[in-house]
Chain A
Amino acid sequence: MKAILRIKRFDPEKDRKAYNQDYEIDVQEGTTILDGLIQVRGELDGTLAFRRSCRSAICGSCSMMINRMAGLACYTQIQELRSKVITLEPLRGYQVIRDLVVDMEPFFAKLKAVMPYMVHKTPTSDREVPQSQEEHRLLSEAITCILCGSCSASCPRYWHDENYLGPAAILKAYRFVVDSRDEAEEERLAIVNDPSGVFRCRKIFNCVEACPKKINPTEAITALSRKILSNKF
């Protein structure tokens, strides 16, 4: 079977505007978008730029707009899309560096802003800090986030407000706030209470739909809003 990948190309050194280019590729059962891209680069056009590393939906580097929805190229099978022509574009809401490669720096800067690390203030012995299974269950979904950025790239708030923390960063804050071992709840809630934090979310739910790991970032955002509120009154 054949399929066409319609790829948005842009090379800042020679193009003034992005343009679409079609590539016809061979598709078998199980062929992913990433397989298709590798085929294009290997056999049809060596100048195509895209990111990938693990090829098994765990590194988060191959996210892009697939038929206008953010998702992982290595996790999306071409036959399942049921379209003859598949449009591939760089992630929305990020600066394009070249072709399908975008600048993820702002995304990671926002992640860093929520203190994405464990803060344990009370002195402990040199043993580990234990956690019960119930306590762990609260964060078991959030820790599967691979930081692919698909959620933020599908969020209209993220496109329009360059300061908005976005679902991924807020989910990270949530992951530590609900962690029984972490002791920086107040600082973290202070950060996400910013006008460009949790209260900027308009409950559009695009992030829930986009997440390849089936995480629900909107639920995390709502949970943090509630926590801020109940801490105030």
Chain B
Amino acid sequence: MHKYSYKNGGVYVWFLQRLTGFLLLALLLVHMLVEHFTLGGHELSYELVAKRVATPLWKIIDSLFLVMGTFHGLNGVWMIASDYIKKDWLKVTVVSALLCLGGVILTLGLLTVIPFKM
């Protein structure tokens, strides 16, 4: 029979999923407010957005957004998948595929966000 134990505990992932969910929502609100109300309103242009995105503070915020979004999304997919996948080899395959996908998303995303210049 399955051995129930602490070692492979689920509490951290469960908590991180909730935490990132909440923070993503908060960040999204900030993004909406800044982008569509205070920054340019109806006259939003590339220059305005680029100027904002090029500042170090926004680079940090956007990177956080990216990391949390990737984690939340892929972990959510894994949570649903793990409910239904029974075979161990398939679990390993799906986890590896999701990790690779996460790696690609993070690399491409960070390569866009961090070196961005006006």
Q: Which of A83-91, A154-162, A209-217 interfaces with chain B?
A: A154-162
Within 8 A of B (CB), among A175-217: 190-200, 202
Closest A residue, CB atoms, query B11? A228
Within 8 A of B (CB), among A56-115: 109, 113-114
Complexed CA–CA distance, A232 and B12 (Å): 9
When the two chains form their complex, are residues A190 and B5 in contact, meaning their CB atoms are under 8 A apart? yes
Number of A-B residue pairs, CB cutoff 8 Å, is 57
When the two chains form their complex, are residues B8 and A195 in contact, meaning their CB atoms are under 8 A apart? yes
Q: Check A194/B14 contact, CB under 8 A, given A160-B84, A161-B83, A202-B83.
A: no
The one of B1, B10, B15, B84 that contacts A195, using a Cβ cutoff of 8 Å = B10
> Given the complex, which residues of A lie within 8 Å of B86, measured CB to CB?
160-162
Complexed CA–CA distance, A109 and B8 (Å): 20
The one of B1, B8, B10, B12 that contacts A200, using a Cβ cutoff of 8 Å = B10
The one of A114, A165, A194 that contacts B8, using a Cβ cutoff of 8 Å = A194
Taking Cβ atoms with an 8 Å cutoff, the residues of B that contact A are 1-2, 4-6, 8-15, 82-84, 86
When the two chains form their complex, are residues A194 and B9 in contact, meaning their CB atoms are under 8 A apart? yes
Complexed CA–CA distance, A200 and B11 (Å): 10
Complexed CA–CA distance, A191 and B5 (Å): 5
> Given the complex, which residues of A lie within 8 Å of B82, measured CB to CB?
195
The one of B1, B10, B11, B13 that contacts A109, using a Cβ cutoff of 8 Å = B1
When the two chains form their complex, are residues A194 and B10 in contact, meaning their CB atoms are under 8 A apart? yes
> Is A163 among interface residues, defined by CB-CB distance under 8 A?
yes
> Given the complex, which residues of B lie within 8 Å of A199, measured CB to CB?
10-11, 13-14
Not counting A162-B86, A193-B9, a sample of 6 additional A-B residue pairs whose C-beta atoms are within 8 angstroms of each other reads A162-B2, A194-B10, A196-B4, A199-B11, A199-B13, A229-B15
Taking Cβ atoms with an 8 Å cutoff, the residues of A that contact B are 109, 113-114, 157, 160-163, 165, 190-200, 202, 225, 228-229, 232
CB distance from A117 to the nearest CB of B (A): 16
Complexed CA–CA distance, A191 and B6 (Å): 6
When the two chains form their complex, are residues B83 and A193 in contact, meaning their CB atoms are under 8 A apart? no
> Given the complex, which residues of A lie within 8 Å of B12, measured CB to CB?
232
Closest A residue, CB atoms, query B10? A199
The one of B1, B2, B6, B84 that contacts A193, using a Cβ cutoff of 8 Å = B6
Complexed CA–CA distance, A197 and B3 (Å): 11
- B5, B6, B12, B86 interface centre (most CB from chain A within 10 Å): B6
CB distance from A112 to the nearest CB of B (A): 9
Q: List 17 A-B contacts (CB under 8 A).
A: A113-B4, A114-B4, A160-B86, A161-B86, A162-B2, A190-B6, A190-B9, A191-B6, A194-B2, A194-B5, A195-B10, A196-B4, A199-B10, A199-B11, A199-B14, A202-B83, A229-B15
Q: Check A193/B15 contact, CB under 8 A, given A161-B83, A165-B4.
A: no
Complexed CA–CA distance, A34 and B10 (Å): 41
Complexed CA–CA distance, A46 and B88 (Å): 44
When the two chains form their complex, are residues A197 and B4 in contact, meaning their CB atoms are under 8 A apart? yes
10 nearest A-B residue pairs (beta carbon)? A199-B10, A190-B6, A193-B9, A163-B2, A194-B4, A191-B4, A195-B10, A199-B14, A228-B11, A113-B4
